[in-house]
Structure 1
Amino acid sequence: MVALVVVAIVLFWQSLLMASLESAIVRVTRANLNNLMIEAQTDSELSQFTRQKKIAKIHRVQHLVANRHATSSACAFLRILSNVLIGACVVCIAAIFASPVWLQLIYGVLAALVVAFVSVLARPRSVGSDKPLEILLAYSHLASFAYACAPFLHPRKSKSARKTELSENEELEEIHLEQGRAAINRVLETNRFDPEVSEMLHNVLALSDSLTREIMVPRTDMICIEKDDTLEDFLKLCSRSGYSRIPVIGNDIDDLLGIAYMKDAVRATIFNNAALSRPIESIMRKPMLVPELKPADDLFHEMQQTCHHVAVVVDEYGGIAGMVTIEDALEQIVGELQDEHDHTQHGEPRQIGEHKWSMPARTPIAELEDIFEIDLDEDDVDTVYGLLTKLLGRVPIVGSSAVTRGLRLTAVDSAGRRKKASTIVVEPESDVDQTTLESDADSPDSNSTKKEQD
C-alpha cells in the first residue's frame, strides 16, 4: 500500500509538471533559444564542462521546439495517462482494504477527476506560463521522455512537413495574438473600461490584419494636378478641395511625377507674387510608394520612421491604386478624425428657395425624385453624391456642377478629413438660367445696350 501511495504521488507530480511543460512549449521561440546559445558560447565565466552541458540542453530544447505541436500533444498525452494511472492506484489501494468493487471504481474515478481538475486549474498559474524557457531547460529530459513515449504523434518527414516547420514562428505569433485577444476580451467583459477604450484595444490587435488597400483612398477618389499647371492653379485647387498634399501627374494618373505640398507653394509665393506663374514641378517632391498588400501596422511604423504623412499605393502591376495618409492608419485605432473646419452632415434635405433644395451627399436618389417629381432612372448609383460623381466623371469638389434631366446639381460644402462633398444644392436648370439673365439685365452695360436698342 505504501508503494502504491508513493507511485500515486509521483504520478500526481508528473501530471502537474506535464501541464507546465505543455503550457511552456507553446511560448518559447527559436529566437530566444538562439540568443541563449550565443550567451552560453561567449560566457567566459563558464567552465568547459558546464558550457557543453548547457549547450547540449539547449540543443535538446531546440529539437522539442522544432516539433512544437507534437511535443505539446505528447505532454498532454502523458498527463492524461498519469491521471488514469493515479485512478488505478487508488482502486488498488481500495481493494487492499476489501472495499466493494463498485466503491473501488468510484474512488478511482473521483481520484482521476480531482487530479485532472487540479492540473488544469493550476496550469494558467504554473511556472510554464511565467517562465517557459527556464522550465523547459530544467525539465528537458522529461519533455524528451514524453516525446519519445508518443511516437505516433511524431511528424512525418516530408516536404510539406519541412515547410510547416519553417513557419513555426509565424504560427507561434498567431497563437500569442489569439491569446492576447482572449485576455483582452476577458478584461473588457468586466466592464471596467469605457466602450470607446474597449473598441480601441480591439482595433490595436486588428491593425496587423488590415492591409493598406483596405484603408487607402482609391484612385477614383484622388484629386490630382497636372504638371503644366501653375502654383496659382495649385493654390486654388487646394482651397477648393481642402487638401494640402496633391499628387502631380503627367499624361494620366499612372504617370505619377511627385507630390506637391501647399506649404511649399505658400512659402514660394507669399513674398513673391511673380512666383504664382511658376510651374507646379518647381516645388514637387519625390513621392513615397508602398504596395497595396502592406500590413497597416507596418505602414504606420514606416511612415513614422521616414517622416512621411502621405504615400502613394501601387498595385502588383505598378499602377497607382490609391493614396494613404498616416491619419488613415490612426483612424483604424481611434475612429474617424475631424478638425475644427469640418462640418457635421445633417440627415434631412431642406428647402432654401422656391425650387431650390440643399441636400446632404448621402440623400437617396428616390427622395430627390419625390421632391422634384421626376424619374431619373439611375440604377447604378444610390445617392445624390454618387449621381454627381457619375455626371462629372471625377470626384466632385466644392463648386463642381452638372446637369441631368433639367436639374442642376452643385457641390457647395465639404466635410470630413477626406474633404468629400457633404452638401449638394439641387435646382431646376431653367431657374439658374433665369437668375443669370436677370443679373445680366441689372448690369450697367446691359442697361446702356437696352437704351441704344430703344
Structure 2
Amino acid sequence: MNEMTIITVVVLAVVACLLFWQSLLLASLESAVVRVTRANLNNLMIETQTDSELSQFTRQKKIDKIHRLQRLIANRHATSSACAFQRIVSNVLLGAIAVCIAAIFGCAVWLQLIIGVVVALVVAFVSVLVRPRSVGSDRPLEILLSHTRLASFAYACAPFLHRHKSKTAQNKAELSENEELEEIHLEQGRAAINRVLETNRFDPETSEMLHNVLELSDSLTREIMVPRTDMICIEKDASLEDFLKLCSRSGYSRIPVIGNDIDDLLGIAYMKDAVRASIFNNAALSRPIASIMRDPMLVPELKPADDLFHEMQQTCHHVAIVVDEYGGIAGMVTIEDALEQIVGELQDEHDHAQHGEPQQIGESKWSMPARTPIADLEDIFEVDLDEDDVDTVYGLLTKLLGRVPIVGSSATTHGLRLTAVDSAGRRKKVSTIVVEPQSEAEQTETEESSQDDEATPTTTTQESNDHE
C-alpha cells in the first residue's frame, strides 16, 4: 500500500467521523426545534440586551444567533424536516465512504455492499435511539444556540421543504404558537406513556388512569354532563322545607331553581345554606327557596373537560349549568364528573349497589332493577302493557310521572303500582323499583293521600352533603 493510498484512507476516515458527528448533532437539533417557542426566544433576546456583563461584541454575536433561530422557528416543520433529511444524507454518505474504503483494501463487491449497508444502519440507529435525541429534548434552547449554523445549513440544503407543508401542519396553521407546541407535547406524551405502559410495570387501573389524563382534553363538557332530561329541579315558589325534603329524597345537595320551565333558570340552591338558615330557626323553613339562591355558573357545552375542571377549581364551584349554542339549558355538570373521567366512577358510603335480576320480596311483590326490560315485567305479572316508546321499567315510571323519578315516586298502570325505592351511584339515579298489584297497595292509600308525591318517604336513601 503506497503513501497516496494511506492518505486517501485517512482522509476518508476523517470525513466519516465528521459525518457521524454531524448525524448525531442533527438528531439533537431535529428533536430540539419542536420544543422551542418564539416566546422563549423573545425572553432570551430581552435577557441578552439587558445583560450588563456581556461585552458589545459578545452581545451582538448572541443577538445574531437569536435572529437566525427566530427565522428557523418561524417554519419549525420545515426546519425539523430539513434536519432529518440532512441526517439521512449523512448516513448515506457514511455508507458510501465505507464502501470506498473496503474497495481500497481489495474486498469483493458483495462484501463492499454489505459493509456499506451495515455502517449506514448502525449510524442511523445510534443517531435516533441513543443520547443525542434525549439531549435535544432536555436542553433544546441550549442545543439550538450552540449549533445554529448547522441548523441553518441543513435548512438551506433542503429548499424543496421550505414551501412544503404536510397535512398535519396545514391543520395546525391557524393555531397559535403555544397551542401548536402544546399539541406537539400532548402527542409526544401519549407516545411516551404508551412505551412505559408496554413494560407492564403498572397495574391495569393505573395504566387506564394515565391514558384518561391525556384524553381529558379531548372530551367535551356535553359528553360528561347530566342531560336536562335527568336534572332534578325545584320551583322558585317552593319553601326551604320542601327543598330539604327534596334533597333528602333525591340525594342531591345542590339543585337548580327554575321559574316557568327548565330554561327559565334562576339560580342554584345549596342544602348547606338551607340547613344554616333553618337549623336554629324552625320558622325559617317556610321561607321561599329564592332567599338562599345563588347565582349559577354557566359553561358552554363545547368547553373541553380539562378546561372546565381547571375553571371550577379556580372559581371554587362544584356545579355548573351547561348551555347550548342557542342559550338553552343543555344539562348540569359537577367537578366530580370531570374527575370520574380520570379515576372512574366515584361512590360514597351512602351509595347502594344494584342487583342485576328481578327478586321476589313478597307475595306478588317484586323488586326490579331500573333497567329491567318491560317484557320481563309483562311475563312476571302476565299483563300486556303495550308500551312501544319505552323499553325499561325506569322508562315506564318516567313516562307515567312525566318527570324524572326520585326515591318515593309512585305511579299506577294496568292494575300495577310502580314505586321507586332506591338509588345508586353518585348521581343518585333511581336503581330499584318495586312493582306490586294495585289492589295490595290500596291498604296504604289512606296514608299516602295525606302526603304530597314529593314528601320524604322511609327509604334506604340518606342525605349526602358531598354530592352535587
| TM-score normalised by L of structure 1 | 0.91
Match of 2:51 in 1: 43
Equivalent residue in structure 2 for 1:53, among 61, 82, 95: 61
Report if aligned partners of 2:28, 2:133 keep a CA contact under 8 Å in 1: no
Distance 1:283 1:183 in 2: 50
Q: Give the Å deviation of 1:137.
A: 1.0
Q: Give the Å deviation of 1:166.
A: 4.7
CA deviation string 1:127-161 (max 9, x = no partner): 2122111111111111011011011111269xx96
Equivalent residue in structure 1 for 2:42, among 34, 50, 53: 34
Relative distance call for 1:126 and 1:350 in structure 2 (3 A) is: closer
Match of 2:128 in 1: 120
Distance 1:375 1:186 in 2: 57
Report if aligned partners of 1:15, 1:83 keep a CA contact under 8 Å in 2: yes
Report if aligned partners of 1:66, 1:168 keep a CA contact under 8 Å in 2: no
Equivalent residue in structure 1 for 2:255, among 220, 226, 246: 246
Q: Could you tell me which amino acid in structure 1 is paired with residue 415 of structure 2?
A: G
Distance 1:119 1:217 in 2: 51
Relative distance call for 1:161 and 1:407 in structure 2 (3 A) is: closer
- Which runs of 5 or more structure 1 residues have no equivalent in the other structure? 441-454
Q: Could you tell me which amino acid in structure 1 is paired with residue 300 of structure 2?
A: P
CA deviation string 1:203-241 (max 9, x = no partner): 111111111111111111111111111111111111111
| TM-score normalised by L of structure 2 | 0.88
- Which runs of 5 or more structure 2 residues have no equivalent in the other structure? 1-7, 450-468
Q: Give the Å deviation of 1:316.
A: 1.2
Q: Give the Å deviation of 1:438.
A: 12
Distance 2:12 2:446 in 1: 110
Aligned length: 438
Q: Give the Å deviation of 1:409.
A: 1.0
SS state of the match for residue 173, structure 2? helix
Relative distance call for 1:298 and 1:273 in structure 2 (3 A) is: same
Match of 1:72 in 2: 80
Q: Give the Å deviation of 1:379.
A: 3.4
CA deviation string 1:390-437 (max 9, x = no partner): 222211001111222322211011222111111101112233236648
Equivalent residue in structure 1 for 2:16, among 8, 19, 29: 8
Distance 1:37 1:193 in 2: 44
Match of 2:353 in 1: 344
Q: Which moved more, 1:45-54 or 1:163-172?
A: 163-172
1:83 aligns with 2:91: yes
Q: CA RMSD in A?
A: 2.3
Relative distance call for 1:439 and 1:135 in structure 2 (3 A) is: closer
Q: Could you tell me which amino acid in structure 1 is paired with residue 180 of structure 2?
A: E
SS state of the match for residue 164, structure 1? coil
Q: Give the Å deviation of 1:377.
A: 3.1
Distance 1:51 1:439 in 2: 88
Q: Which moved more, 1:57-66 or 1:170-179?
A: 170-179
Match of 2:229 in 1: 220
1:237 aligns with 2:246: yes
Match of 2:392 in 1: 383
Q: Give the Å deviation of 1:163.
A: 7.2
CA deviation string 1:156-214 (max 9, x = no partner): 69xx9697175454333222112212222222233322222222222111111111111
Distance 1:246 1:105 in 2: 77
Relative distance call for 1:30 and 1:190 in structure 2 (3 A) is: same
Match of 1:428 in 2: 437
CA deviation string 1:47-77 (max 9, x = no partner): 2322222122112112212211111111111
User: Comparing both chains, which one has the higher relative contact order based on Cα–Cα distances under 8 Å and sequence gaps of 6 or more?
Assistant: 2
Structural mapping, 1:10-409, within 5 Å: 10-122=18-130, 126-155=134-163, 164=173, 166-409=175-418
Distance 1:197 1:126 in 2: 26
Distance 1:210 1:438 in 2: 48
Report if aligned partners of 1:231, 1:276 keep a CA contact under 8 Å in 2: yes
